[in-house]
Amino acid sequence: MATAITLTACSSTEEKQASRLYQEAESAYQNEQYAYASALLDSIENHCKSAIEWRKAGHALNYQVQLAMQEDSLATADTMLLTITPIINEMVKANNFLYEKGEYDELGYYYVKGSDTKSNLGRSYVHATVNEYGNVSLISEYRGGAYINHTQLRFIGSDHSEVVTANVPLEREGANYHFKNQGLCHESVTYVNDSALAFVDMQVGDSKLKAELVCKEGTKKYPVQLTTKDRNDIALTYQLGKMLAAQLRFSQQSKVAGEKIKFLKAKIETNKNKDNNK
């Protein structure tokens, strides 16, 4: 009997607690405080196990809360896409970006006109490309009579600040590419989304910004020409990459929110039908 009385008292306490939490959650939902409402409903589920009817009511309300949250997420994503997409189009048009499909996949990429390898065959230099997902490739190109086997790229500002890219081993085929053409040795090393991109973007106005290739041993360095156009093109590509990455992020957010909204509406409709059939 003592145990039964204790259980009854606990049940009564949880019922009161669940009632209070539900009322507060309902008020938060009406005031568009969806995250708070969801947290309160989670408290009913986790701490009021014996309050069965309040938990059922909490489930039904939580579908409404989650639906409202996803509708907000969808609206935010679509608004940002409407803002970002014209900016990207204007950046591409204003800065002479060209677009090509990838050689080995369907993912296209952008580069500033004149910054491609074909336009700079006679020199060692640095350039950048960005794919449709916003992944920026910083590329160091070496031309010489013999291979130097460089694996890194260093930038040095006139204020003596500097940054070194990640190391790209010679064994990494595709990312560290060697070939010969008409007796000239070519090396092309690709650093993806490297921190050096942000450094060049910040130092784009530094006319004395230097670039040098760092060889495998780390002791030998080979200076490369870094023109005003090179600096500007790398910075522009980096900026476009950030916009493309944001566009992808909000596109995914929009898609996920749309799918969740469809699921939640179906759940809410199913619950309504169950209540009507009782």
Rounded to 5 degrees, what angle do the CA atoms 18, 67, 36 make? 45
122 contacts 143 by C-beta, under 8 angstroms:
yes
Neighbours of 5 (CB within 10 A): 9
Domain identity same for 133 and 171 = yes
Within a domain: 278: no
Domain identity same for 116 and 214 = yes
Domain identity same for 7 and 74 = yes
Which of 166, 163, 151 shows the shortest CA–CA distance to 214?
Answer: 151
**Token pair listed for 11:** 């049940």
pLDDT of residue 3: 33
The string of pLDDT tens digits covering residues 245-278 is 999 999 999 999 999 999 999 999 988 877 776 6
pLDDT of residue 218: 63
| Start-to-end C-alpha separation, the chain | 36
Residue positions counted in the chain: 278
**Token pair listed for 129:** 């490309």
Rounded to 5 degrees, φ, ψ at 72 are -65, -45
Domain identity same for 101 and 205 = yes
Say which CATH number the domain at 158 has.
2.60.40
Q: How far is CA 70 from CA 34, 56, 103, 269, 272, in A?
A: 10, 22, 38, 17, 20
Domain identity same for 103 and 80 = no
Domain identity same for 112 and 177 = yes
Domain identity same for 103 and 43 = no
Within a domain: 267: no
Q: How far is CA 100 from CA 96, 140, 204, in A?
A: 13, 20, 26
Within a domain: 63: yes
Instruction: Profile the chain (278 residues) by mean pLDDT over runs of 10 residues.
Output: 38 87 96 96 93 92 96 98 97 95 81 94 94 97 93 96 94 88 91 97 96 83 94 98 98 98 94 74
Domain identity same for 58 and 105 = no
CA distance 189 to 124: 12
Q: What is the pTM of this model?
A: 0.86
Write out the residue range of the structural domain in which residue 191 sits: 97-248
Q: How many domains does the chain have?
A: 2
